[in-house]
Amino acid sequence: MGLPSRRSLLQGACAPLAAVALASCGFALRSSQKFPFKSMYTGPIIGSALLIELSRQVAGSGGVEIITDQRQVERADVIFELLQEQREKVVAGRTSSGSVREFLLRTNLRFRLRTREGKELIPDTVLVATTDISYNETLALSKDQEEQMLYRSMGSDLVGQIVRRMAALPSL
């Protein structure tokens, strides 16, 4: 058995240094969020993929009950109001012959979070996510499926932003 190579010695020495550097910069793996409330009213979530995703993420953190029945709104610590959910598709580029080459996809989300008594915890806020998608007429069906996947991905990103904002709230 020979001596260890210079490369293996460097790798062995660098691994602990990398761990120390990551720990000192504040890096931490994402864990489940802790919220300063125990129950949240969202209203009926049927028909809104964003409200379904939000309910899953908040309830999945453990300890938060999602209330969708308006007759039980008085049990909720906070009330989430989805004021607007809008998807847009705008032509972003054309070929020299004038046919569409690229679209800009945009998801606008407007919401607020308040207590049952009406105190605003997160005032009326607009979040926007955008992405580009190339287009080709011969691949219209697959591009439509890609578009739906991109809208779902943008929605998940926006819901993640909302969840992080709710988790950062001071205790009620």
* H-assigned helices in the chain: 6-24, 49-60, 140-167
pLDDT for res 42 = 95
pLDDT tens-digit series, residues 125-162: 999 999 999 999 889 899 999 999 999 999 999 999 99
Instruction: Write the pLDDT tens digit of every residue in 103-126.
Output: 999 999 999 999 999 999 999 999
pLDDT in tens, 46-92: 878 899 999 999 999 888 999 999 999 999 999 999 999 999 999 99
Query: Cα–Cα distance between 30 and 82 in angstroms, integer?
Result: 26
Instruction: Say yes or no to pLDDT of 38 above 70.
Output: yes
Q: How many residues does the chain have?
A: 172
CA 1 to chain centre: 53
Task: Please report the domains of the chain, with CATH numbers, ordered by start residue.
Answer: 30-167 (3.30.160.150)
Residue 33's pLDDT is 82
Q: What pLDDT band is residue 44 in, cutting at 50, 70 and 90?
A: confident
Look-up of token digits 């580009």: 132
Give the span between the Cα atoms of 76 and 168, in whole angstroms.
19
